[in-house]
Structures are given as structure tokens and as C-alpha cells.
Structure 1
Amino acid sequence: MLTPDLLHFSSDNLFAELTLAPSTHGPISEKELAQLLALPEFNQLFPIEFNIKKAVKDINALAAQDEGKTTQTFKIAERRDAEILLETSSDNMQATMTLVAAWGGRSVKLPDILHSLKENGISMGLSRLKIEAILKRLTLLKPGESISSVIANGKPAVNGTHAKIERKVPLARERLLHPQERDDGTVDMRNLGSVVMVSPNDVLMVKTPATEGSKGYNVLGEVLPATAGKDVQMVAGEGTQFDAADPNKLIATVAGQPVEINNGMQVDDVLQIKNVDVGYGNVDFKGSILISGDVCEGMQVRSSGDITVMGFVESAVLQAEGDITVSKGVLGRQLGGNELSTKLIAKGQISAQFVQYSELNSQANVLVTKQLLHSKTETQGTLTVSDATGRRGDLIGGSAYAEKGIVAVTIGATADTKTELYCAMKLDELKQQFKDLDEGSRSLTVAKLDTEARLRRLPPKEEWQADAVMVEQVKMMLAEKHRIDEELTREETEKEMLAKETDGYYDFYFIESKKHIFSNVEVHIGPAMQRTQREHGPCQVRNLHGEIQFDYSNKK
């Protein structure tokens, strides 16, 4: 049996040494050595497993030999200082510290941690409270046990918000979805309210400016730049101006009908007509047109603003720089060569209660609240065939192309009427736009680096500041650098927005039916195409990995 006196500290007090004569004390076992190391004065030391195994092997081999009479010494345990382990995340936005409790050695103090942080370059986002807390918990650990904690967090850069323009007045097209309520609480579907008019000094639009964003940093102290928000220039059309007290407000300067234009508004004179018929003649008016009755067969109406028709449009042509709103219906018939007798062409939105055998062409959106039958529809926005409740809205026959998606209550008919739908057809075009922007950004970057290199090669300022020609050249170079920086920022913002749109293109743009899609509906989403062979319930139809997929998960 091994006695406690055989184990002692080395002269430098760093090791536990076993000293014995193998022939006297051997053979021995690892268990016996473990019992010695469990003594109070040694139980805080780190067992050196390799040396323990070697000591047992050597002592037992010499126990029965003459050489075993010679005393031998083995270092079987040692003091080890506490450890500080620092690890940063892959993006250097977080630092984790692990402390390993000492084996009878020196513990960790705050200055040790600060020194280690400095050596590892961790300098930002540190939490002194978390460091002190982990140090306190370290004192409760057994030798060799460890504790970890996040002690530093970087600050992400916050990109600026894009400028936003908010319209503060209603438009004529919005009246279609908001019939007037009677005194008894019922709704008069024929009465769409009075004409929307504004007076001088009425606020038309309010702009929320873009923000620059705020820079961030990682735990290594590296600055993370922020992307400034994209600015939008609010446009003051005719009959409007910016408020002298607040340039972010657009106000009316005259009385008239408010008309939305690209990123702005104008206030139009309003031409009011009872009926457009042979007796009145065709209409071509610079301003907005309100027709309280109908537009009759063979007539043409053109406007630089909105066209609002309170009655019907039948086999006529309407063309507007703004919106076209028809409170009742749009009626046409089929002519030779698949031509249709009624055409509505608008740069703004086209809205009507029902449409049949007509061509609709809008650069914005198309809204039909009841039925869209056997017509040709083309819009760069969305096509919606639904009332406000989502209970009624039939899209039957003809063809409909809406770049940003189609929503209808019912698509097709039980009679298997052929109906063609197209959406999300411009992905290749958007990708080309992104490629062009990327090439432009690269060219600008080269020009920027060239300008910066020229500025760096300038002699000291005191050598040329009295030379008027040289001063002018330097001003021009600085102005050019500023222009390039602004252009680069603008293009990078556009690239970011375009990248988001192309990456999620088919997630954004799809076809949705709130109740039914019947058979013989031909669906085109991008290059993918499928003709329905059966009836489908409420669903979204998407391009998934190049194939048409029906998603029923959103049905109500």
C-alpha cells in the first residue's frame, strides 16, 4: 500500500512527485496513485495521465529486479493556470469567452482578460457586466470545469430608408369601391358620391425623405458602412406647388380635380359632359373629363388627365394620361380579325364594374369589380377581378396579361370557356437590367479610383494653392469624385432593389383564385405553361422551379 509520504511537491512547487523504490513499494496500480492524488493538498492538481501510466508500468517492471532497489521519482500531476479562450463568430459580430478553472494554478483576473482581448483585437461592443459575471461564476467551478458567455456584440449597420410619397387626397377611381351609404344603413350602388375636387392650399401629397442610415461595427472595431436610402423626387404638376413652409408637402394652387402622375400630382380643370354621342362629338381635352352619362358607340374621348364615366361605355375609344374610371359597364363586340370594338388605354389605372368584349391597356393596374368577359387585358401592374368583399368577380374568356399578378374570385367557367392568363414574363429583362447596372457600377468604380489616384498624386497644397488654374482643376476633380460617389450610391441602391425583385420574382408575382379555377384555363407564368384539366378550389398558381404548381395552403 502506498503511503502519503511518498507523494510530495517538486522543489519549484509546480508538480506532484511520486518518489519510491519499486522493489519496496511495487507492484502498484493506477487506482492507488489516484487515491494519493485525492489527498487534500494534491486534489487541485491536474493528473498527468501519460506519466501515471508510465510510472505504474516502470515500477511494476522493476519490482522484482535488483534495479528496483534504487529510488525513482515520477511527476504524476501538475499545477495549471486558468485559461482564457476567445472565439469570434464567422462575421466577427459576436465574441464568446470561455474560462477554464485552474488546476491548483493561478486564476484569471480582469487585467488578464483585458490583455487577452487586446491580443485578439477584440475592442468594440464589450460588456463589462458580462465579463465580471463570468469571472464571479468562475470561482464556483471545480478544477478543469469551464464556463462560456458572449461578452461582446457588434452593431449592425442600419441601412437608410427609402423616400416615401403619400397621397393625401382621394382619386376618382377610388369611388368605384366605395358606394354611398343611405340613411337607413344600406348602400346605394348607383350613387358613387360627389366628384373629388380640391381647393387652393389643400395638401395633395407628403414626402417622407430618405435617410442616410447609420454605420455599424464588428467586435474587432471594423466599421460597417450603411447604404443610404433611395431618394424620390416629388413632382409638382400643373396646378400644384411645394409648400413654402415645408418643401416636403405638395399643395394645390387652383381648384379642380386631383390627378396622380408619376411621383407627384396635378390639379386639372374638369370638363363636365352629360353624354358623349354623335350630337356632342369626339372629345379631346387638356384636363380631366367627367361624363355624367354614357359614351356612345363610335365616339372617342381623349384626356391629359383622368376620364370618369358615371354611366356606360359602348363600342368607343377612351384614352387618358391618368386614370379611366367607368362607374357602370364597358361594352363592346367582336369585329373581324379578332378586333374588339371598345378600347380603353390609360397611363394610370383602369377601373370598371364589368367589362365585356373590350381591350384594356394600362401602365398601372386594372380593377374590375364584377365581371371581365371575353376581353383582352394588358397591364404592367396587377389585374384584380373582385369586389371589396372578395365574394364576386368572374374572369371568363379572352386573354389577360398582368406583369405583377392576377387575382380573381373565379377564373374560367363551367362550360370550359378557353381563358388565357399571363403574368411574370419579364424576369430575363430584369436580369439584363441588373447586368447593365452592374457593368455601369464597375465603370464608375474604375473612374472613381482613377480620380482618387490623381488627387493623391497632387503636390502639397501649399505648392499650388496660389495657382488659380491649378485650384480650378482640383475643384473639378473633387466635383467629379462627388458626382461619381452619388451615382455609385444611386446605382448600388437600384441594384439592391432589383436583386431582391429578381431573387423572389415568382414569389411576388403569381395568379390567385379565391373560389374556383375551371378547366381549359391556360396559365402562363414566365416560361412555364399549363392548361387546367379539372376544376381547382381556392389556390395560388405559381412558377415553382420552372413548373406550374397549384398551392392550396392559403385557402380559407
Structure 2
Amino acid sequence: MLHPGLIELSQDQQKAELKIVPNSHGPITEKDLLQLLALPDFTCLFPLQAQITQAVIKVNQAASQDDGHIELFFEIADRRDAAISFDVSDDKMQLSMTLTAAYGGKTLDIRDILQNLKLQRISMGLSKAKIDSLIQEFVALGPGQSCSCIIANGRAAINGIAAKLERKVSLARERLLQPQSNSDGTVDMRNLGAMIMVKPGSLLIEKIPATQGTDGYNVYGEKLIAKPGKDHKLTPGTGTEINNLNPNQLIATVAGQPVETSSGMLVDDVLQIKNVDVGYGNVDFKGSILITGDVGEGMVVKSTGDITVMGFVDSATLQAQGDITVSKGVIGRQLKDFSLSTKLIAQGQISAQFVQYSRLEAQGNILVTKQLLHSHTQTKQQLIVSDATGRRGDLVGGRAQANKGIKAVAVGATADTKTELYCAMELNEFKEQLKQLDQSIKSMVVAVLNIEAQLRKLPPKIEWQNDAMMVEQVTVMIDEKRRIASIRAQEELDFERLKAEIENYYRNYYIDAVKHVFSNVELHVGKAFLRTQREHGPCQIRNHNQEINFDYSH
């Protein structure tokens, strides 16, 4: 080791100075100099690596040379103050602080940290507990060591919750899933209870208003504006009114059957018929229809409300602007032109226990609690072939199309019956809607900018405020700007919702086989297609990268 006397502190005590005669002490290595810096007086100083390397080179070059007797001087270490640095995330929602211990220089305390935070304009989301913990860790560090921690977090804006309409009365279709219990505890599937009726003053729907949401902030204290929840208008229908004492309640004004609408409910007069057959004739009624018996072959029943059949529908046509509920079975047969003899078309939902060789079209869900056989079904919502327990529900043969997913206990049959399933087929339509919304929003931005440009070109207000025509023109421009801004705000909300719908489309909409998928089942999920060659157990069938994927984890 080199003699300790070769190194000493500078006069101001800030640097380590090396004074060395090459011929007397050389050649040397960097290790020799680092050993000198490890001496008690110098161990806390910061090694100047470039100068250390340069000192070794110059000393070794001069050793054994004529000028090697001349003393050389080098500054190979100095004191350095503790350092503080910050790292802000790209979204300005997190702040990380790093503290680096001093090399014999000035240390840091809470006042230094607060002053630096002020210089960085950090004002929100700071955690005193995390800062204190980091300072405690910092105090125990050796020279040049660092510690870091996230000490500030912004608060994301919490968007408002959309308004919701909570129905307070049951509907006819729900009776299929609520059969009556016998005294011995068994369930009587034939007895579905009394017909759903309401009286004047009955509470039908209660609206839970949309919330405005909670604004957030980033670590700089900049406000993040929350988007309000989408409103859902509560609209009275025939036989209903808004409660005078509570504007969020819809009540019945007449006795009758409640029928759900997209924005509320109406109460229909109910036409009650025993059987619809050739003796009674076809039915076309403004209101809801209750058929306590059956609908016979070739008959047509039309309703502006719900149609409820307590018995069977056999080779007939039912059309409802509300729901169609068949308590027992829907029976049809295949005709010579390969069409089906029974048709059920509803603006609402279709519910039945048993369906065969029938065509079902609904805007709402289609629910079959036992078997759906060799039929053609089409719905904009879900197709569910299952009882309330999830034990029974066979979807066999035919073609089933449901925009928002299909759920069945068993799909296909052991006899390899050809069965076609289609779901999640609307993605391209949603993308086109998103594109149109984007174009509409951009056009409104341009329209507002044009109005603002016109307003800026106006002469000072004092020059035209007494000109009635000019005042009218300015008022029209301002009102138009407000109108466009209001529409734009709503379309921006719609844009974000539709964008989220597209991003999660195949995660939300899929085929759910509760127990079995048999062979010879054609699976279409979006553009992905597969015909099964074997039996599959319980699974969810999804579109993954435009290929059919069987997920057995559920």
C-alpha cells in the first residue's frame, strides 16, 4: 500500500489531494489510490474516477524517467452534497422521489424536500407518512447510496353513474322462472301463479338519477374533470303518470297488465281469451292479450302490448310490440319450402318452456327453459336455453343468432345433429358508428371555432349594443354555440362508451355451454368459425384473435 502521507485534505477541506514522486512511489495502480481513499479521513469523499485514471497513467509514464523525481499533484476525490430528484409519470398521476446520500457534504432534511417540491410545483396527493419513511431510510444510507419511493399520487376522476330505471313490479315473462311451490316443497311447473296485474296508484318504476361523478386531480393540482353519468329519461306510457310527490317514480293510473318500454312502462287493458282457434278467429288487439288456453293451427294473434299464452302455441303466428310469454310449449313443423309453421315476433322478449320447429325473432332476450329444437331464433340481445337451476336446457338443431351471446346447458346432440350458433356479429357496425361519432364531434369543434371567430371580429359592444338586429344576431350565435356544445358533450360520452364496448366486445359476448357441446355444431363468434369434431365439456367459446377458443377455466 502507498504511504498514507501521500494524500491529504485540501486547505478548504473539500478535496483529497495526492502528492506523489513517480520515481519514488511508482509504478502504481488504481487499486493503490482507492486504498488511500479508504483511509478514515477520506472514506466519505466521492472518488473522481477520471482523475484517478489520469494520475495512474502520468505517474507510471514518469517513473524511471529523467523527470520522475519531480512531485506530481492530483485531486482524486471531493465532497458532494446529498441529492434529491423527482420522476413524474407520463400521466402526471404519480411522483417518485429519490434521495442520494452525501459524500461528506451537506445532507438533506424535510425542509430541503419541501422546498424542492415547491420548485417542482407539486401540490396534491403528497403522503407525509411516505416522505417520513423515506427520510428514515435515507439517514441510514452510506455515502452515495440512494433510496426512492412514490410519495404522491393523483386521484383519478370518477365518472358519474348512469341513471337506472328500477322496475318495481314483475312481468309476465318472469313467471316462467318462478313456478309455484307445493305444500310438500316440490315445484309445480304447471302452476305459474296468478296473472300479473296492477291497480291505480301502484308503483311501477323508480328512477335512480345519474350522478355527476367526482373530479380528480394530478400531482400538480390540475383538476381532472369527471364525466357525468348518462341520463335515462323516465317517460309515462298509457295508463301511467309521474308521481306528483316524487318525479322519479312512475305509477299506474288504471288497472291492468304492466308492460315494459325502453323508457318506462305502460299499463295495458287486458283482453282475456280461452282459446284462439277457427271458432274464435284471428286476434288484433290494442293492449295486452291473455290466452288461458291454446293458440291453434293457422291462427294469427297481434298485440300492441304483451301476449301471454297459458297453454300451447301450435303452428300459429304471434306478433307483439311487448313480450311474448308461452307458459307451456311452442310447436311447429317444417313445411315443404323448408320454412317453419310457427312464428313468434316480439319487440320485447320471448319466453317459453319448450320450442320446436319454430321461428322466433325478438329485440330483447329469448328465454327457453327446457328445450329449443330445430328452430330459427334471432335476437338483438341474449339467447338463454336453461332453467333457473342451470340443470336443464337443450339447444339442438336449427340456427340460433344472438347479438349479445348464447347460453345453453347443452348444445347439439349425441346423434351429431347439425346445429348452427352465431353471436357477436355486430363489431363492424359498432366501429362504423364510432367513426361517424368521431366525424360528428370534429365537425362540431370546427363549427364552434367558426362562431367564436365571428364573435371576435365584432366591433366593441358599446358600438352595437343598442342595435336590436345586431343584438339578435349575436344572441343567435351564442345560443347556437351553446346548443352545439351540449350536443358535443353528449356525443363525446357516447363515443367513450362505444369505444369501451368495442374494446371489450369479445370479452363480453360469447357462447356459454354449461355442460356439453356435442360434435357437428357450427360455432360463429364474430368472424371466427369452427365446426366441432368431438364433444366438449363445460366451456365458454370466444373469439380470440379471430379464432375460436374454448375456455374451460370457468
In structure 1, what is the equivalent of residue 99 of structure 2?
99
Q: CA deviation at 1:465?
A: 4.1
| 2:385 is aligned with 1:385 | yes
Between the aligned partners of 1:304 and 1:280, the Cα distance in structure 2 is 19
> Aligned residue for 2:445?
445
Output the CA distance in 2 between the equivalents of 1:28 and 1:425.
78
CA distance in 2, matches of 1:476, 1:424: 45
Q: Distance in 2 between matches of 1:498 and 1:11?
A: 72
Q: Residue 40 of structure 1 aligns to a residue in which SS?
A: coil
Distance in 1 (alpha carbons) for counterparts of 2:213 and 2:456: 29
TM-score by length of 2: 0.93
Pairwise CA distance, 1:173: 0.5
Counterpart of 1:544 in structure 2: which amino acid? Answer: H
Question: For residues 40 and 529 of structure 1, do their structure 2 counterparts lie closer, same or farther at Cα, with a shift above 3 Å needed?
Answer: closer
Q: Deviations over 1:75-102 (max 9, x none)?
A: 1221111111111122221111111111
CA contact (8 A) 1:94 1:219 kept: yes
Q: Tell me which moved more, 508-517 or 325-334.
A: 508-517
How far did 1:481 drift?
2.0
Q: In structure 2, what is the Cα distance between the partners aligned to 1:421 and 1:37?
A: 79
**Structure-2 change in CA distance of 1:256 and 1:72 (3 Å):** same
Aligned to 1:198: 198
What are the within-5 Å matches in structure 2 for residues 152-551 of structure 1? Answer: 152-551=152-551
Q: Deviations over 1:198-254 (max 9, x none)?
A: 122222112222222233222234433332222221221111111222211111122
Secondary structure at 1:338's aligned position in 2? Answer: coil
Q: Is the 8 A contact 1:228 1:489 kept in 2?
A: no
Q: TM-score, normalised by structure 1?
A: 0.93
Q: What is the Cα deviation at residue 458 of structure 1?
A: 4.0
Q: Which residue pairs with 2:49 in the alignment?
A: 49
Deviations 1:160-181 (A, max 9, x none): 2222111111000000111111
2:54 counterpart SS class = helix
- For residues 175-199 of structure 1, the C-alpha deviation after alignment (integer angstroms, 9 at most, x for no partner) is 0111111122121111100111112
Secondary structure of 1:214's counterpart equals coil
Distance in 1 between residues matched to 2:235 and 2:190, nearest whole Å:
35
Q: Evaluate the alpha carbon distance shift between residue 321 and residue 17 of structure 1 in structure 2; reply closer, same or farther with a 3 A threshold.
A: same
Instruction: Name the structure 2 match of 1:40.
Output: 40
The CA deviation at 1:15 is 1.2
Q: Return 5+ residue gaps in structure 1 as ranges.
A: none
Q: Which moved more, 1:8-17 or 1:299-308?
A: 8-17
How much has 1:460 moved relative to structure 2? 4.5
After superposing the two structures, state which structure 1 stretch, 115-124 or 277-286, moved more: 115-124
- The answer to which of 450-459 and 438-447 deviates more is 450-459
Q: Which amino acid aligns with 2:486?
A: E
Change beyond 3 A, Cα 1:358–1:32: closer
Call closer, same or farther: CA 1:243–1:3 in 2, change over 3 Å: same
CA-CA distance at 1:520 after TM superposition: 2.8
CA distance in 2, matches of 1:2, 1:401: 88
How many Å separate the matches in 2 of 1:24 and 1:515? 91
Name the counterpart of 1:125: 125
Query: Percent same amino acid at aligned positions?
Result: 61
**Per the alignment, in what secondary structure is the counterpart of residue 337 of structure 1?**
coil
* TM-superposed deviation, 1:60: 4.7
In structure 2, give the amino acid aligned to 1:438. Answer: D
Query: Which amino acid in structure 2 is aligned with residue 196 of structure 1?
Result: I
Distance 2:508 2:362 in 1: 20
Q: 1:228 to 1:56 in 2, by over 3 A?
A: same
Q: Distance in 2 between matches of 1:225 and 1:460?
A: 33
Equivalent-residue separation in structure 1 for 2:507 and 2:489 (angstroms): 27
Q: Is the 8 A contact 1:159 1:212 kept in 2?
A: yes
Give how far 1:280 is off: 2.4
Q: Find the aligned partners of 1:166 and 1:517 in 2 and give their Cα distance.
A: 36
In the TM superposition, residue 321 of structure 1 has moved relative to its aligned partner by 0.8
Gap change, CA 1:58 and 1:332, over 3 Å in 2: closer
Q: 59-68 or 494-503, which moves further after superposition?
A: 59-68
Provide the C-alpha distance between the structure 2 equivalents of 1:360 and 1:517, rounded to a whole number of angstroms: 22
Residue 135 (structure 1) aligns with: 135
Range with bigger deviation, 467-476 or 136-145 = 467-476
Q: CA deviation at 1:374?
A: 2.1
How far residue 276 of structure 1 moved from its aligned partner, in angstroms, is: 1.8
SS in 1 for 2:337: helix
TM-aligned CA deviation for residue 463 of structure 1? 4.5
Flag the 1:132–1:415 CA change in 2: closer, same or farther, 3 A.
closer
CA distance in 2, matches of 1:57, 1:199: 103
What per-residue deviation string (whole Å, max 9, x for no partner) do you get for residues 243-277 of structure 1?
22221111112221111011210011111122222
> For 2:345 and 2:56, how far apart are their aligned partners in 1?
98
Q: Is the 8 A contact 1:322 1:347 kept in 2?
A: yes
Higher mean displacement: 32-41 or 479-488: 32-41
Q: What do residues 331-364 of structure 1 show as CA deviations (whole Å, max 9, x unaligned)? A: 2223231232222111111111111222211111
> Which of 462-471 and 79-88 deviates more?
462-471
- Secondary structure at 1:131's aligned position in 2? helix
Q: Describe the shift of the 1:32–1:375 C-alpha distance in structure 2 as closer, same or farther (beyond 3 A).
A: closer
CA shift at 1:53, angstroms?
Answer: 3.5
Task: Give the direction of change, closer, same or farther, for the CA distance of 1:458–1:108 in structure 2 (3 Å limit).
Answer: farther
CA contact (8 A) 1:23 1:62 kept: yes
Deviation at 1:147, TM superposition (A): 1.4
SS at match of 1:158: coil
Change (3 A) 1:29 1:436: closer
| Residue 6 of structure 1, CA deviation | 4.1
Once the two structures are overlaid, the 10-residue window that deviates more, 59-68 or 295-304, is 59-68
Letter in structure 2 aligned against 1:509:
Y
Which string of whole-angstrom CA distances, capped at 9 and with x for unpartnered residues, describes residues 360-411 of structure 1? Answer: 1111111111112222222111111111112212222222222222222222
Q: How far apart are 1:45 and its partner, in Å? A: 1.4
Per-residue deviation at 1:471?
3.4
Secondary structure of the residue aligned to 2:297 is coil
Inter-partner Cα distance in structure 2 for 1:64 and 1:539: 85
List gaps (5 residues or longer) in structure 2: none
> Which stretch of the first structure deviates more once superposed, 215-224 or 183-192?
215-224
The 1:60/1:468 distance shift into structure 2, 3 A limit, reads same
* Cα separation, 1, equivalents of 2:149 and 2:379: 56
CA contact (8 A) 1:357 1:373 kept: yes
The CA distance in 1 between the partners of 2:50 and 2:393, in whole Å, is: 83
Aligned residue identity for 1:266:
L
Distance 1:461 1:310, change over 3 A: same
The alpha-carbon distance between structure 1 residues 342 and 62, as it changes in their structure 2 partners (threshold 3 A), is closer
Alignment CA distance shift 1:460-1:130 (3 Å): farther
